[in-house]
Structure 1
């Protein structure tokens, strides 16, 4: 325990070092014994290895230089250090991780609830007897469809609001540490996600799905999407095939946006990445809604 590190330098080491460097061979190494302070010993050993490499480079670059000149050149090079700046992150990592975990897992509640609730609204309004009664009324089919969709959108907003506010109120301390602006960006991501189950509910109702099927699809899709989004287990721990499939579900992009919004500096680049994630998420909803609209039109023509 009297020394952190002891180096054993064999006789003639300097000559062997210079000769090996100028001959293009591997440089000789020192034998090292660590003391009680392993961290300090490791740093000392790394510093010695760096000096040997610099001395070898100096000997190879100056073939006629003496051993003393090689040592001086190595010492001069070793004295140079790169400038290092420490950037203090303002966001508390624990608070950000707490909110990110809640929003990621909260996606399951939003997806399953919206699919079931919205699907029941659309399927109920598509009942043949109810459709016949509404066709006999003065309201046009287009206006009636827009009103039903608006009602479904209101239900979606209510579900998103309740689910989100539970996290905001329950983790008010974390919200205060992270910042309201960052949390609002995360909430925007969850709102973009809510558009996807809205479109799924509409598409399922166009196929004539009833409550049992809506419940099953809502729960199954909610668990699957949150899993592929990385809520249950980090995607880095999964296989490459799962990571590739994850890119084809909106929760992957939403969780990526939430993570960047809560834990990254909101530079223009980061904001651009978040906007891209939200855009991809909305495109998922638009594509599914287009399929549902096509199914609905084909069913009405039939």
Structure 2
């Protein structure tokens, strides 16, 4: 599905493969597309696939299809992450249609967030979008944010937190740095208005990582719809020390991703970038048979 190909993915690797049989869409992890980057447990691949899954679900619903989802279907294939069954036509929810229209808009952004802080109501809306995918959102305090670069030996004063091992996430027309983002706390005073939150949950299995990707997709679309910039940071996955620090923070479960949320001062000053080509550009909807 073209829309699913625009989902945020680690290192813009798009590590997924779709298989279509009639009204059934099967999602498989394509670990080989992340072979150049460290991901020993397959977490980044699975989270990326979760984002593609949500993009596909949302697009189908916005086109008036009723879809049931089976995560981790029992097929004997460990790469088989999800199955979508198209059951027939269904009314389109206006909120669903609005989020689907946001898929084509830029989301990940490396520029400093110097605009006004995110309003509580807007933050609640973005958090609710993620939490609707059975993933929790924990907003970090300034003191907690400063603990993160220290955990991985980064120097917040000099901004030396850039690491080739940190996952760079990007979606359509992204301005994300291909060398990998900095950890929160290394971004400097120009990001002092940013909100930093952790996507987390009570368990730490591959199905939880899949749902974390769905939550990332939902939150990023809700953010862009509200005129915000949302950038995922894979520090909890890439850095064991960061994961350990987050686990000791009150009210946080197992951390999946960090997200940085906020506004630029001049929201119209967005660099013009060509849309990245999707690895799998086939439109699955054109292959799905009309249900009886």
Of the two structures, which has the highest relative contact order with CA contacts closer than 8 Å and spacing of 6 or more? 2
Higher strand share: 2
Judge same fold: TM > 0.5, yes or no.
no
Look at both structures and tell me which one has the larger radius of gyration over its CA atoms.
1
Normalised by the length of structure 1, the TM-score is 0.24
Higher helix share: 1
Normalised by the length of structure 2, the TM-score is 0.25
